[in-house]
Amino acid sequence: MDTKTVETLTTLAATLHARKQAGTGESYVASLYNKGAKKIAQKVGEEAVETAMAVAADNNEEIITESADLLFHLMVLLEARGLSLNDVAAELAKREGTSGLTEKANRS
């Protein structure tokens, strides 16, 4: 990842954190937080399906826009639960060097 990507994600994370304090009429994100983690999780699922459909349609432009929506809503969900991309990155770092098949087998 380049510096600009990290900066964009860091800025977004800070904005999402700040929006937790905003009134629901002021911010889409605040309205999502107000609905709760289960509703946000539903939105993440919808965005995941839309991303998969873009892949099935072989449309790279749509894959990018739907992936952005998916990542955005996933970050909202993480923030709603008091988690962050740093927590996810730490989990990925723990898995580094482990075969995906081995890692999956160890979860059972």
Give me the mean pLDDT over the 13-17 stretch.
Answer: 96
- pTM of the predicted model, to two decimals? 0.88
Summarize the chain as % helix, strand, coil (round to 5): 80, 0, 20
Q: According to the model, what pLDDT value does residue 45 have?
A: 98
Domain range annotation of the chain? 13-107
Cβ contact 66:47 at 8 Å: yes
Q: According to the model, what pLDDT value does residue 100 have?
A: 74
Calculate the CA dihedral of residues 7, 8, 11, 17 and round it to 10 degrees. -130
- Residue 57 has which token pair? 């349609």
**Given pLDDT bands bounded at 50, 70 and 90, which one contains residue 28?**
very high
Which CATH topology does 13-107 take?
Helix Hairpins (1.10.287)
